[in-house]
Structure 1
Amino acid sequence: MQKQLMHNRSMRAAEIFMSNAILFHHPGPINDGLQSGRPVRVKNLLQAFSEIGFEVDVIAGNVSQRRKAAKKVKDKIGHGRQYKFMYAESSTMPTALTTASHFPIAPCMDPEIFFYLKRKNIPIGLFYRDIYWRFEEYSQKVSFWKRVFAISFFRYDLQWYQKTLKVMYLPSLQMGRFLPNPAKFNLSALPPAVGENSIGAPAETVTEPLNILYVGGLSSHYRLHVLFRVISRLSGVKLTVCTRSQEWSQLEHEYEEWLTPNIEIVHLSGEQLPELYEQHDVCSLFLEPNLYRSFAAPVKLYEYIGACRPIIASQDTNAGDFVEENNVGWSISYDDHSLEELLKYLISSPSEIIKQGRNCKPVAKKNTWRNRAENVARYLGDLDQ
């Protein structure tokens, strides 16, 4: 009996030391029921790490939940558990201000976790989501004292990231130039991706009229005025804009002069979107270029590609560069004439739309969440060993 117990303990110890375990950190809930970029990304990457064979221990949730999870991790490490690496997803807020009250009740807790893992020689990679706080628009939207308070914690995050990370992932490398002291970080791109099971089929025909779809916001980052204006005066083309009802109510007055019968506004999300994509020929990211768009990697870009719908995008944007480099649509100047000429060409050349749609599928297959997880694992955890 004693020999059997010793054998069982040895087997458990072997399992611990040989386990293919990693850590996943996020200062918030993994799935809060929202369909926006952050929760979708966090949930999909966590699932992708599991799918490629890792056993994932999660440090996420509110402060209390993260503290309990971190204690369990430390206990496991103390008993011999080995972790190949930790992958972390930041919030759009400073880590210490992700509490319900946005007050820093435990500002040292997450840095302490990172420093502890670094001392244990566990490499850490973190996706830094946004650099919005470095732009003028942030100062226009946030009051002075709130801004000063938040920025001090944004900078605090960067200080302990600099000392603990093996790599900082960004939506695109172009975002790196807006970081304070970017040379102090090892930067790599880890843009959004496509769900393997959600990759659609390219359309074999084009509808009449030509159906164009935009899915997304209407705030100052997503100005659609040129798109509305041009399509409102064209025949042979229809535009569907899928956006949140509250956002449309707030901004409808900016577009009402162009609300012709060939422009429709809908409010759909989640499981309703695949059918919406199937009903349209082309998707739009024809947005006004600005500094932010020069590095932003829209989630919808990859969703459009996954639906195998070619994309109209603006030049001088990161999305436009991707569309042009991967031959999955058309990247044009952001002006009325360029858009009108392109739409007239597409109306008369449906075979071009079909060809570009077919190009989307192989690009989608190279840009799945599984691909992203494998890239992280190769760098941080020697996946191929």
Structure 2
Amino acid sequence: MKSVLLYYPFEVAENANSGSKLRPKEMYKAFQQWGSREGVNILLLSGNSAERETLFEQWKAEGKLDDLWFCYMENQTIPFWLTDKGHIPKKPFIDTKVMKFLKQRHVPVGVFYRDVYWKFDELYPLKGAKKTVMKTIYRMEENFYSKYCDVIFLPSDAMGKYVDINREKVSLPPGGKESQVVRSERVKQNAQGLYVGGINNKDYGLFLLLDALEKANEASVICELTVVCREDEYKGLSEEKKARLQEMNVAVKHVSGEALNELYREMDFAFIPRYRSIYNDFSVPVKLVEYLSNELPVIATYCQAQQEIIETDGYGLICEDNPEDMAKAIVKMTKDAEHYRENIQKTFLQKHSWLARVEKIKSSLIK
């Protein structure tokens, strides 16, 4: 039986409370589902560097790595040499050992390169000598991928020009998840819009959304807004901003898990109002995938990667990052939300699920 190696040079989080922690687990589950269907054995090599070395040597001795078809690797926001606790690797050469083994046996390797925020001074928090050292290590990591990987998988095509790795670059579907969406019976006359996310950074665009909502509701109220955010972020808002939310009758909630799922069932559409920037052009918000997985049409600003996903299959409306254009989108969405929801139901999971992601990885590495 053919085998596929998943190489995660880090410990997989037990409790996945963010997109970066969730993705490796969902990918493993999707690979197992795909492997079961295709008759392929899936081997997950993960853990700290010492655990990876022990398992790698054990599998080699047992012959488990004799018939590898291809290898899929994940990276994290820090270079993989630093993923052990305390950022000091117990076995610093294990990653090179694994990759050399694969290269000698002509096993195709692809890595998901998830982020390049370290290339943007306004986003990367380190300063001085620490910053210089870390940027050097990040470049070493890029050189490592250039030497050992055949394909670099990215969150979006737009990110490609910021990745200095001379290899084929392929964007992957974002990883939508099947949800049992049973919409709640409508009890409110006005359209219900939802924003889930940060509220303590201008870049997130919540107050741009409020400006747009005021304009859309100028003649008469057509849309009501619910905001879901962290409680500490809400408490940290100025009294002036809190008062504005109250004056506009915005419902502010601090929910997650099943309570958030219930809220998704009550909403008509959702917002991603972030301001356009170079970084926002190529990043794919986790919330976009969550909204679409829950069959919620989306009004989003014209950041390139999210625009491509939404417009290609008609999952919502794109607007400029100003109140006037967003207000027009709100008015249109209140009339056409059901049309966009039908589009999501028809194609989103088929084209953007975790399983679709696995299929694209396989077809990119095995030609």
Calculate the TM-score normalised by the size of structure 2.
Answer: 0.89
1:206 positional shift: 8.9
Instruction: Report the CA distance shift for 1:202/1:115 in structure 2 as closer, same or farther (over 3 A).
Output: farther
Report the Cα distance in structure 2 between the residues aligned to 1:296 and 1:169, rounded to whole angstroms: 13
- Once the two structures are superposed, residues 6-28 of structure 1 have per-residue CA deviations (whole angstroms, 9 ceiling, x without a partner) of xxxxxxxxxxxxx1311111122
Is the contact made by 2:157 and 2:305 (CA closer than 8 Å) also made in structure 1? no
Out of 244, 263, 273, the residue aligned to residue 260 of structure 2 is 273
Q: Which residue of 2 aligns with 1:26?
A: 8
Secondary structure of residue in 1 paired with 2:352: coil
Residue of 78, 100, 104 corresponding to 2:85:
100
Q: Which of the residues 137, 143, 146 maps onto 2:130?
A: 146
5+ residue gaps, structure 2: none
Q: Which deviates further from its counterpart, 164-173 or 322-331?
A: 322-331
Establish whether residue 41 from structure 1 lines up as the match of residue 26 from structure 2.
no
Q: Could you tell me how far apart the structure 1 residues matched to 2:281 and 2:65 are?
A: 46
In structure 2, relative to structure 1, the CA distance for the partners of 1:326 and 1:59 (3 Å cut) is same
User: 1:250 Cα deviation (Å)?
Assistant: 4.0
Q: Name the amino acid aligned to 1:168.
A: I
Q: In structure 2, how many angstroms separate the alpha carbons of the residues matched to 1:159 and 1:341?
A: 47
Structure 1 residues 80 and 158, CA gap change in structure 2 (3 angstroms)? closer
Q: Distance in 2 between matches of 1:118 and 1:262?
A: 60
Aligned residues of 1:203 and 1:357 also touching (Cα < 8 A): no
- Are residue 159 (structure 1) and residue 129 (structure 2) matched? no
Q: For 1:212, what is the secondary structure of its paired residue?
A: strand
RMSD (Å) for aligned C-alpha atoms: 2.4
Asked if 1:344 corresponds to 2:328, the answer is no
Query: In the TM superposition, what whole-angstrom CA distance separates every residue of 1:46-88 from its partner, at most 9, and x where no partner exists?
Result: 11111012322111122222222222232234x7731111111
Residue 73 of structure 1 corresponds to 59
Cα 1:286/1:26, change in 2 over 3 Å: same
Matched, 1:193 2:175: yes
Q: CA deviation at 1:253?
A: 6.1
Deviation of the 1:172 alpha carbon: 0.7
In 2, the alpha carbon distance for the partners of 1:254 and 1:56 equals 54
- Give 5+ residue unaligned stretches, structure 1: 1-18
Asked if residue 357 in structure 1 is aligned to residue 344 in structure 2, the reply is no
1:192-212 deviation line (CA, Å, top 9, x unaligned): 21123x263678969422211
Give runs of aligned pairs for residues 80-229 of structure 1, distance below 5 A.
81-139=66-124, 141-180=125-164, 182=165, 184-196=166-178, 198=179, 200=181, 207-218=188-199, 220=201, 221-229=203-211
Q: Percent identity?
A: 28
Q: Matches of 2:155 and 2:206 in 1, distance apart?
A: 23
Alignment of 1:62 onto 2:48:
yes
**CA-to-partner distance for each residue in 1:258-306, whole Å, 9 max, x for gaps?**
2125212222223333211101001111211111111111222122111
1:208-263, CA deviations, whole angstroms, 9 ceiling, x for partnerless residues? Answer: 22211122334545232201333357333222222233344445668435212521
Instruction: Indicate the residue corresponding to 2:357 in structure 1.
Output: 372
| Count, aligned residues | 356
Alpha-carbon distance change, 96 to 339 in structure 1, aligned in 2, over 3 angstroms: same
Larger Rg: 1
Question: Secondary structure at 2:289's aligned position in 1?
Answer: helix
Match of 1:239 in 2: 225
Q: Residue in 2 aligned with 1:52?
A: 34
Matches of 1:207 and 1:69 in 2, distance apart? Answer: 57
TM-score (structure 1 length as normaliser): 0.85
Q: CA separation in 1, counterparts of 2:6 and 2:240?
A: 43
